[in-house]
Amino acid sequence: MEARGTPRLRGALAVMAAVALLFTLSVALAPERAAAAARLVSQGKPATASSTEALFTAPSAVDGDTSTRWSSAFTDDEWIRVDLGASTSIGQVVLNWEAAYAKGYRLEVSDNGTDWRTIHSTTTGPGGVETLTVSGTGRYVRMHGTERATPWGYSLHEFQIYTTTGGTAPGDDVLLSYGKTGSASTSQHDGTCWECSPEKAFDRDPASRWATSPEGGWTDPGWIAVDLGARAEIDRVVLQWDPAYARAYRIEVSDNGTDWTVIHETTTGTGFKETLNVSGTGRHVRLYATQRSGEYGYSLWEFQVWGTGGAPVPAPPLPADPTYDRLVFSDEFNGPAGTAPDPAKWVPETGTGPNNELEYYTNNKNAAQDGNGSLVLEARREETPGSACPPDPLSGSTTCQYTSARLNTYGKFQFTYGRVEARIKVSGTQGLWPAFWMLGADYFDQGRPWPYTGEIDIMEHVGKEPNTTYSTLHAPAYNGAAGYGAPYSLPGGANFADDFHTFAVDWNSEGMTFRVDGNVTHTVDREELESTRGPWVFDHDFFLILNNAVGGDWPGPPDATTRFPQKMSIDYVKVWQ
């Protein structure tokens, strides 16, 4: 269920939660692979030009930043060239023009920067972004303008040169930074960010992070670097930012960790997830941030370096995506009336609930099969002597005045990816909060606290909204009332508590699709989530939970209109992979 607070641990596991950030998982934050087969070789390389206008210099056309540009003098015969450092086979050139573009121009290559060979020419250049397939070999590549399309000169946001041979194309590279030694300008270690040290950015765990220290105040600049263990060719860097991101930063490479070469630079960093196509060689890679986006420092969930060479440590393999045709868990609750849930599948959680709830969860006293093919979780108004709950507005008592049931499959069944489905008739009236949901198994495996575990709410219902259910994701960067989800309301104002309904989610490495009675109610695209809300933390084992809560921060407490007992009936629960 949507945790408007930390779910309650049982017994000694509660102690573990206090230090849970000492533990990390090797779960994946896999960057989106570039579709192109070409490899960018011009970015960050030396660039010169026949002329420049004001501050719009040639290096600005090869810095990977589309907010900067090179501009020439206002004449026809002008050029810009890039020194690739070695003879290179050229297969593609991308010209990203500003409004001042070339109607006529040549693309040329040279071995010495003096003698030029034409590999493309046109007198009808359209401007905008031109992606040109070419064929030629040389150390130097030049765009030589011959006819302007406007009264101004020539102006390029980006002059990108790609090779299709002699290297690894995007999509075939490997993660070089996993498990490697990190260093940083400073690191945070306090109650707000426990053990937020550099190596947390290189552990492929999207729920742990590095952050700069607040001691003495958050200041510019700040940096984090990784030692790849050997010289490598870098073609991609993936940054998954915490809200404390860099507006301005450089990506730099070095052979010795002292002398640095810039391969990417921007003053318009966007935060969230940034996937940067770069080109550089070195053993060390550094993010050097010069302008914070807000009042805090810098913080990264992940700093991934991709390419070839180095001394990569193989990361744990990712789970295979499901085909949804193999039934791996099923309970249809066909036991005799009064029998407890199958102990081979379900574990009762006992004690008081989280989120300022008012119930006391019993050891299957409130959970039983009904003899008609359903499991019933019954919420009752009955006192539990010796217990302590938030004050009950109806009685004023701080002894728990309600009992109910909460079951999970931890230790019996946990899994990564699949189609999860249940047919449920929810409880109703004010103050009831039935839910069908999943929590990361590291909650118990590692003692890791919510929301670092991740939470997948397939169905939540609150009695004060009788015709609506909710499906929501929770993670460190989006949780509680700010969780990533959507409601679904029955047509005609019908009450969910009046009949059974089917609730399901399809979950794989690319996202999730939630459904109610076969209707798609919420779609989660992983790339969009990472680019707009924060890390995806759902590439590891989760377990199932059913519960019928009373009271809590979201539904509010029972009132004079609430009727007890209230039954949450489950026809079946099934999982396919």
Active site residue ranges? 455, 460
Angle at 417 between CA 411 and CA 419, to 5 degrees: 100
CA-to-CA distance for 105 and 125, rounded, in angstroms?
Answer: 8
CA-to-CA distance for 542 and 436, rounded, in angstroms?
Answer: 13
Residue of 568, 562, 565, 567 lying closest to 392 (CA atoms):
562
- DSSP tag of 38: -
Residue of 378, 375, 365, 377 lying closest to 334 (CA atoms):
375
Between the alpha carbon of residue 32 and those of residues 126, 170, 525, 526, the distances in Å are 30, 10, 12, 9
Q: How many CB atoms lie within 10 A of CB 236?
A: 24
Residue of 304, 38, 331, 318 lying closest to 182 (CA atoms):
304
Provide the phi-psi class of 59: left if phi over 0, else alpha when psi is between -120 and 50, else beta.
alpha
Q: Cis (ω within 30 of 0) for the bond into 46? A: no
Residues in the chain: 577
Bridge partners of 144, per DSSP, are 79, 106
365 burial (CB, 10 Å; 0-12 / 13-18 / 19+) is middle
Q: Give the helix/strand (H/E) hosting 117.
A: strand 117-122
Let me know: does 43 contact 84? Beta carbons within 8 Å.
Answer: no
386 burial (CB, 10 Å; 0-12 / 13-18 / 19+) is exposed
CA-to-CA distance for 315 and 486, rounded, in angstroms?
Answer: 34
Bridge partners of 357, per DSSP, are 551
> Tokens for 310?
């180095």
Q: Which residues contact 20 (CB under 8 A, 6 or more apart)?
A: 446, 447, 448, 449, 452
